[in-house]
Amino acid sequence: MDERIRRSKTTQTRIIFPESLNDHDTLFGGIALKWMDEVAYITATRFLRKETVTVAVESIKFLLPVNKGSIIEITGKVTEMGSVKIKVQVLGMVEDKNSDKQEKAIEANFWFAAIDENQNPIRITLSENQNIEKN
């Protein structure tokens, strides 16, 4: 299971351009959440290798402003599994492009469900129908 979690970890790196800013000249929260949901979706899909949908977002924390010209690294990792849903923790680490220092700027948990061709939730199974147990 640890290997499956490791292989599904997803990282996206972006630079903050002016079109992504809010009226405070920092990264607009809605854009940050979109990017985080994309990373979480890829992580969930890699882990399950099934069609998935976001069912909930919780514990969103904007810890630091992300300024124009900063680099943000967004990483998703599966942290909890149940019979129908999985939780993906997503962290946004900000760094000044002229420094090696990274700081956690944003964090949230995204819940995903696996779905069938009719978009109904399905039981989560691994290859050969091995059920994933909740931690």
Pairing mode, strands 102-114 and 85-95: antiparallel
Of 67, 128, 71, 92, give the one whose Cα is nearest residue 11. Answer: 92
- pTM, 2 dp: 0.89
Ramachandran angles phi, psi of 83, nearest 5°: -80, -20
- The architecture (CATH level 2) of 2-129 comes to Roll (3.10)
pLDDT at res. 126: 64
For 63-135, where are the E strands, in sequence order? 71-81, 85-95, 102-114
Please, what is the Cα angle at 75 between 128 and 29, to 5 degrees? 125
Distance separating alpha carbons of residues 81 and 70, to the nearest angstrom:
33
Please, what is the Cα angle at 42 between 37 and 86, to 5 degrees? 75
Q: How does pLDDT run along the chain (135 residues), one tens digit per residue?
A: 889 899 999 999 999 999 999 999 999 999 999 999 999 999 999 999 999 999 999 999 999 999 999 999 999 999 999 999 999 999 999 999 998 999 999 999 999 999 999 999 999 986 533 334 443
